[in-house]
Amino acid sequence: MALDNKRIRERLVEKFGAEITEWSEPYGLLTFVCPKDINLKVLQFLYDDQELGFTFLTDLCGVHYPDRTGSEISVVYHLHNLKDNIRIRFKIYTPSAKPDVFSASALYEAANWMERETYDFFGVNFIGHPNLKRILNIEEMEFFPLRKEFPLEDQKRTDKDDEMFGRG
């Protein structure tokens, strides 16, 4: 039997039940949300299960949702089953005040730098990461630039002509 989104969902519901929520299939890509405390259990199951076999981590990134009080930061995983050529996406949410998430770098070596980049730009603390430090920004930076907590422009600048930007 060919692996499809319906079967993947069935296997995940068998294993994790109602812990996995927000099922959707935008553009045919099976997407779901799980609690951050079980992200490694879900990843390990998707990797180890003979039928599922999601052994390739395509991408791992962060997203900041400032209006989601208590779960402002999301970590998004994109996984690929190379044998059946099927991809899935799943998300976890964490508060920006304490963005602690278990590291996937022991399971997927590719997660190492992706987690460092997510830490660098969003401040996600990947617990168990072997070398969690900034990768693109300077070490002295005291904020995380892709969080939407800061205005895109310096509001005190006087050398800009607003008419040039369609604002005057």
Tens digit of each residue's pLDDT (9 = 90 or more) over 50-81: 999 999 999 999 999 999 999 999 999 999 99
Domain ranges, residue 66: 5-152
pLDDT the model gives residue 73? 97
Task: Please indicate, yes or no, if residue 107 is contained in any of the structural domains.
Answer: yes
Instruction: Judge whether 7 and 30 are in contact, CB under 8 Å.
Output: no
Confidence of residue 2 (pLDDT cuts 50, 70, 90): confident
What pTM was computed for the model? 0.88
Task: Please indicate, yes or no, if residue 92 is contained in any of the structural domains.
Answer: yes
Task: Please indicate, yes or no, if residue 158 is contained in any of the structural domains.
Answer: no
Average of pLDDT values for 15-20?
97
pLDDT at residue 17 greater than cutoff 70 = yes
Of all residues in the chain, the percent with pLDDT exceeding 90 is 83
Task: Calculate the alpha carbon distances from 96 to 21, 101, 124, 152, 161 in Å.
Answer: 21, 11, 8, 19, 35
Give the CATH number of the domain where residue 32 resides. Answer: 3.30.460.80
Task: Please indicate, yes or no, if residue 146 is contained in any of the structural domains.
Answer: yes
The count of structural domains within the chain is: 1
Nearest to 90 by CA among 54, 114, 123: 54
